[in-house]
Structure 1
Amino acid sequence: MIQIRQPEDALRAFQAAWNSHDMESFGALFHDDATFVNRFGHYVRGVAAIIKLHAPIHATIYSDSTLENELIDVVAIHEDAAVMHFWSRLTVGAAHPAGSHAVDTLILAVLTRQAGEWRIKALENVTLTNPRTGEAVLRGGRSL
């Protein structure tokens, strides 16, 4: 697992844990009482719930998925707290019922440092959609 020595490291650690489909490593990125809102608006609290939300999809429809993250910004709000925004492109393969495709999301993560370790305290994931049609879009204006 990638060590999170500064908030920006969470971007690569999140991507690496996702792409390895190791949900224990994924869960280790979060504080015990962290909250997570997935791209469908499903809210959970706590590492066990975050893992429970992700483990079944990583064993099935996302088993051949990859994630590619791109940092937008990190804003320090305290010496031990930061807000980070990043783009995330999820590419799924044949394991997904809809077949191979990509989805872009915008992620907001709040990170805090406790006992010298940075971890995610809260994360929210929003799917990019056309506001007039509801159709998912990729960054750059291309439709999926």
Structure 2
Amino acid sequence: MKEPADIPARFQMAWNGHDMDAFGLLFHPDATFVNRFGTYWRGVEQIVAGHRRVHDSIYRDSTLENDAPDVDPISDDAAILHFWSRLNAGQAHPAGPHRIDTMILAVATRRAGEWRIQALENVTLVNPMTGETILRG
């Protein structure tokens, strides 16, 4: 990836293609990932293995729609990204088809001229009074 802003589109393409090899290429080998349930993975191998499990099962027919990111450069080789992501779960999910909106925070760094994710956290949008998931506007 040539720019940090490329990350959400590549993330979406890898997810929607259920291509965990391409998904793994989004991350540096020593990256970290916190999913929307608070599961913490360290290293691209754990990140890919965790996602492969759900893409082989409950998310095998899911899709994502990622918005363009808000990018905050913090140096020539580091940037913070925030972007909205809508998960469209399909029939394979135990709860059946439904949608979830999340906000993704990612720290991207450039190594050897290529931008990849160093750290990512995904937070589900919920009503703070009830804990019920909500969709944004």
The CA distance in 2 between the partners of 1:59 and 1:133, in whole Å, is 32
User: Could you tell me how far 1:24 is from its partner in structure 2?
Assistant: 1.1
The CA distance in 1 between the partners of 2:45 and 2:111, in whole Å, is 19
AA at the equivalent of 2:91: A
The CA distance in 2 between the partners of 1:84 and 1:21, in whole Å, is 23
Structure 2 residue runs of 5 or longer lacking an equivalent are none
Q: CA RMSD in A?
A: 0.6
Describe the superposition over 1:94-119 as per-residue Cα deviations: whole angstroms up to 9, x where unpaired: 11110000000000000000011100
The CA distance in 2 between the partners of 1:137 and 1:62, in whole Å, is 20
User: Could you tell me how far 1:72 is from its partner in structure 2?
Assistant: 4.2
TM-score (norm 2): 0.98
Tell me whether 1:50 sits opposite 2:47 in the alignment: yes
Name the % identity. 64
AA at the equivalent of 1:82: A
User: Could you tell me how far 1:71 is from its partner in structure 2?
Assistant: 2.2
Q: Which structure ranks higher in relative contact order (CA pairs < 8 Å, sequence separation ≥ 6)? A: 2
Aligned residues: 137
TM-score (norm 1): 0.94
Tell me whether 1:31 sits opposite 2:11 in the alignment: no
Quote the residue 2:4 is aligned against: 7
The CA distance in 2 between the partners of 1:76 and 1:89, in whole Å, is 25
The CA distance in 1 between the partners of 2:68 and 2:100, in whole Å, is 17
Quote the residue 1:65 is aligned against: 62
Describe the superposition over 1:81-104 as per-residue Cα deviations: whole angstroms up to 9, x where unpaired: 000000000001111110000000
Quote the residue 1:96 is aligned against: 93
